[in-house]
Chain A
């Protein structure tokens, strides 16, 4: 007979509850699956077929994991969405904005990328604050940690990490193109170059920095979970 506890434990590896509580959930679900399988065998099914039918009871283990997590989390004033997405997102946003202000006020001069031509005097197309960029992995890591601790899904965590680049994305992808279209005084060649370099400097590079920190936290947390599982046998 299959070891149902091992099956459930493997599938619910993302369950972020207290170890004792996780163990209870795993034992309970395993007992349910074992009983289902036994009943199917008694009805005349082969063991193999019964096990296959039993495992089909759960179509999406990740979804089940999230539902259990949400159900087990004590209901209070803050909903899970607030804890898993909005709180980490707003924290990363304010932290990244605050750090940018500090770097602008007290940090070294920014790195200014200009077009190497006659336009260079009138069109600096990107201003990059390197100390700010280097501080963003920490912000991303914090967002990932908070979202993960609240039991957020991978999507919620990813959204919380890259949330600070949202205002810049809106500016470069909406405001700047709209300005370029309706303001006939601006040279389109400058605008499109500014759009491209600005997008790289203020959206792609910060997002990559934030994601680096977030990915490191994710890696650390998953290794810690694996280690806990090995210790727990």
Chain B
């Protein structure tokens, strides 16, 4: 199980990565992340929305109200150009971190 500290650091990367595939509303976004990480990353409402609002303030994502076919109004988030720019270095950083950890654990097990 991944600890809360690592989860906090990866949460923004997870949101940006999932939104790269297309706009989603908060509930669906949390569900997709949970599905794609096989439950390792799980967002409650209390964790998800402050993060989404913060990312929106930074200009990485943009929320807008949309009405679904069932007539339900929901706020959908989409990745902005700034968010796309932020995503690639974030991916690189995390990839480097995981590679380093992998090398380290291999060394310590050798």
- Chain A positions 80 through 123: 1 when the CB is less than 8 Å from some CB of chain B, otherwise 0: 00000000000000000000000000000000000000000000
**Interface magnitude class on chain A:** 20 to 34
CA–CA, A60 and B58, complex, Å: 25
Q: Which of A43-51, A63-71, A126-134, A184-192 contacts B (4 or more CB under 8 A)?
A: A63-71
CA–CA, A32 and B77, complex, Å: 14
Whether the pair A59, B50 counts as a contact (CB closer than 8 A) is no
If A28-B26, A36-B27, A58-B44 touch, does A68 touch B49 (CB 8 Å cutoff)?
yes
Indicate whether B103 reaches chain A with its CB closer than 8 angstroms. Answer: no
Residue of A nearest to B51 (CB): A71
Indicate whether B73 reaches chain A with its CB closer than 8 angstroms. Answer: yes
Which residues on the A side are within 8 Å of B74 (C-beta)? 28, 31
Which residues on the B side are within 8 Å of A57 (C-beta)? 44-46
Indicate whether B53 reaches chain A with its CB closer than 8 angstroms. Answer: yes
CA–CA, A28 and B54, complex, Å: 15
If A36-B27, A59-B46 touch, does A24 touch B75 (CB 8 Å cutoff)?
yes
If A32-B26, A36-B27 touch, does A70 touch B50 (CB 8 Å cutoff)?
yes
Our pick among B26, B50, B57 for the contact of A67 (Cβ within 8 Å) is B50
Give the number of A-B contacts (CB < 8 Å).
60
Whether the pair B46, A58 counts as a contact (CB closer than 8 A) is yes
Our pick among B49, B57, B58 for the contact of A29 (Cβ within 8 Å) is B49
Which residues on the A side are within 8 Å of B92 (C-beta)? none
Indicate whether B72 reaches chain A with its CB closer than 8 angstroms. Answer: yes
- Chain B positions 39 through 83: 1 when the CB is less than 8 Å from some CB of chain A, otherwise 0: 000001110111101100110000001000000111100000000
CA–CA, A32 and B75, complex, Å: 10
Whether the pair B50, A64 counts as a contact (CB closer than 8 A) is yes
- Chain A positions 140 through 169: 1 when the CB is less than 8 Å from some CB of chain B, otherwise 0: 000000000000000000000000000000
Which residues on the B side are within 8 Å of A67 (C-beta)? 46, 50
Whether the pair A68, B73 counts as a contact (CB closer than 8 A) is no
Indicate whether A216 reaches chain B with its CB closer than 8 angstroms. Answer: no
Residue of B nearest to A24 (CB): B75
Q: What is the minimal beta-carbon distance from A177 to any residue of chain B, in angstroms?
A: 42
* Interface pairs (5), CB distance under 8 Å: A24-B75, A28-B75, A36-B45, A71-B53, A71-B57
